[in-house]
Amino acid sequence: MKNFLLTLLLITFSACATSPTGRSQLMLVSPEQAISASREAYVQTLAPLQKKGQVDSDPATSARIKWITGRLIAQAIVLYPHTSDWEWSVKVIDDPEMVNAWCMAGGKMAIYTGLIDKLEATDDEIAQVMGHEISHALANHTAERMSVALASQLGLAGLGIATRDSDYGGAMLTGSALAATLAITLPNSRTSETEADVMGIEIAARAGYDPRAAATLWQKMGAVGGKTPPQFLSTHPSPVNRQENLSKMAEQLMHLYLDEGDRPVYLLQ
């Protein structure tokens, strides 16, 4: 048992990376592994919805989302050239009650019609949502969260070995199942949320979307749903000062938004 824990500690300390904002990250799972798992998870997640006709069912809405997201992706590629090799994709899921959006590793995205319609979201506000989600992928948050989950599972497995208690064992979520669960249902850390806020609002501003919409988006998000918060808030924990911080960032980024330079578009199929 002692050797197992020592090995786990050595692996943990040696598997560190640095995020785009300079933060140290645990990386037991490589970004490439997370992208591969997410590619499979994306297909598995969308397949039953496609059978029900719930994916890209409204051509006008799909075209709108692809145009907005395409402008964001173009800026993401400028800032992070390695992502030009990603198989970028965005789908609109027809679910009027679901207020949510997500992005898996490698740029596999989805947004629900509930978020668009219930919030009466403007193009600027949708850009903030998708810019934030894209930033989770750019910062390798899926790989990081998979690594944390793996470390936890390894720790529990070690505890089970030490105590000979099978209750610490059980089935381990791995690969595509874990990637899908982390992207869609489990909450992000406050640290990764702040990181995605900082990165996402800049990408949206560079793409020509008003950064002040980040604060109005969260105002709307907090107002919708009454006693039942939208899914987006359960997977994206919001500190009380989030709107204030976003407003301050918006003022600092207005020059990017007002820049009259070209706004290229990544064409999504």
Per-residue model confidence as pLDDT tens digits over 17-36: 787 878 888 788 889 999 99
Within a domain: 216: yes
Within a domain: 65: yes
Percent of the chain past pLDDT 70, that is, above it, reads: 84
Residue 222 pLDDT class (50, 70, 90 cuts): confident
- The residues that are catalytic are 133
Q: How far apart are CA 182 and CA 147, in angstroms?
A: 11
The mean pLDDT value for 199-219 works out to: 97
Half-sphere exposure of 76 (CA within 13 A, CB side): 31
Q: How far apart are CA 25 and CA 15, in angstroms?
A: 8
More confident site: 147 or 219: 219
With b for 16 or more beta-carbon neighbours within 10 A and e for fewer, the 77-92 pattern comes to beebeebeebebbbbb
Within a domain: 167: no
Residue-range definition of the domain harbouring residue 137: 31-141+180-258
Within a domain: 264: no
Task: Identify the pLDDT of residue 168.
Answer: 34
Tell me the residue length of the chain.
269
How many independent structural domains does the chain possess? 1
The mean pLDDT value for 119-125 works out to: 98
Q: Global pTM? A: 0.85
Q: What's the burial of 29, exposed, middle or buried (CB within 10 Å: 0-12/13-18/19+)?
A: buried
The mean pLDDT value for 2-30 works out to: 63
Q: How far apart are CA 137 and CA 256, in angstroms?
A: 22
Within a domain: 20: no
Name which of 38, 44, 49, 143 is nearest 88 in CA terms. 38
- For 8, 146, 147, 164, the CA distances from 169, given in Å and listed in that order, are 17, 18, 18, 10
- The answer to whether 65 touches 92, Cβ cutoff 8 Å, is yes
Task: Identify the pLDDT of residue 129.
Answer: 98
Q: Which DSSP helix (H) or strand (E) runs through 8? A: helix 2-14
- Taking only the tens place, the pLDDT of each residue in 141-170 is 988 888 887 776 654 344 344 434 443 334
Within a domain: 263: no
- The answer to whether 38 touches 106, Cβ cutoff 8 Å, is yes
- How many C-beta neighbours within 10 Å does residue 63 have? 13
Supply the DSSP string of 124-186, one letter for each residue. Answer: HHHHHHHHHHHHHHHTTHHHHHHHHHHHHHHHHHHHHHHHT-GGG-SPPP-HHHHHHHHHHTS
Within a domain: 158: no
Within a domain: 135: yes
Positive or negative, the CA dihedral 221, 225, 231, 236 is positive
